């Protein structure tokens, strides 16, 4: 599947009702050996910057999980895999920050998910998140050329 297809798949996931993290992870998980249903479950709690705490952007969290699927440490003493994963995650986060100005959900949305007005929250999410989901997929693909 080409780059645009993965980005479109992530955006379709988001528009279909999944959170940012789920949308990104589910867009590419099967190509990396993870079943879609499991990906959706694993990524669910990372939406809203980790359960609406507005910390690390869910789209970025989903992309980090993709890197883990591709390069993550499996054997206890495989520190090479761990270091490669950490290095790539750092690079991904830096690229995301450069492109969007922050890695934090609260900064990216500019509205408090817990205390803001529902209509304003909904408008911000619809305006901001689709581009972040697409971007996270694109940046992850650049990191590992899938």
Task: Please count the structural domains in the chain.
Answer: 1
pLDDT at 146: 58
Q: Which residues contact 134 (CB under 8 A, 6 or more apart)?
A: 7, 10, 11
Among 99, 105, 92, CA closest to 19: 105
Q: How far apart are CA 68 and CA 30, in angstroms?
A: 14
CA distance 8 to 20: 13
- Specify the pTM: 0.94
Across the 146 residues of the chain, what is the mean pLDDT of every consecutive 10-residue run? Answer: 80 97 97 96 97 97 97 96 97 98 97 92 95 97 81
Can you give the pLDDT at residue 3? 56
Structure tokens at 11: 């955006």
pLDDT of residue 44: 98
| pLDDT value at residue 66 | 97
What is the C-alpha separation between 74 and 14, in angstroms, rounded?
Answer: 30
Please, which residues have CB within 8 angstroms of residue 72's CB and are 6 or more apart in sequence?
A: 81, 82, 85
- CB atoms near residue 104 (< 10 Å): 17
Domain that holds residue 52: 3-144
φ/ψ region of 57 (left if φ > 0, alpha if ψ in -120 to 50, else beta) reads: beta
């Amino acid at each position: 599947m080409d780059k645009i297809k993965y980005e479109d798949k992530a955006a379709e996931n988001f528009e279909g009702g999944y959170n940012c993290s789920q949308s990104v992870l589910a867009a590419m998980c099967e190509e990396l050996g993870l079943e879609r249903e499991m990906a959706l479950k694993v990524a669910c709690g990372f939406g809203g910057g980790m359960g609406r705490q507005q910390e690390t952007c869910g789209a970025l969290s989903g992309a980090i999980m993709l890197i883990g699927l591709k390069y993550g440490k499996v054997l206890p003493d495989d520190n090479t895999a761990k270091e490669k994963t950490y290095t790539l995650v750092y690079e991904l986060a830096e690229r995301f920050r450069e492109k969007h100005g922050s890695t934090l959900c609260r900064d990216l949305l500019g509205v408090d998910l817990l205390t803001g007005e529902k209509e304003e929250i909904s408008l911000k999410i619809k305006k901001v998140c689709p581009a972040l989901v697409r971007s996270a997929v694109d940046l992850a693909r650049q990191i590992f050329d899938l």
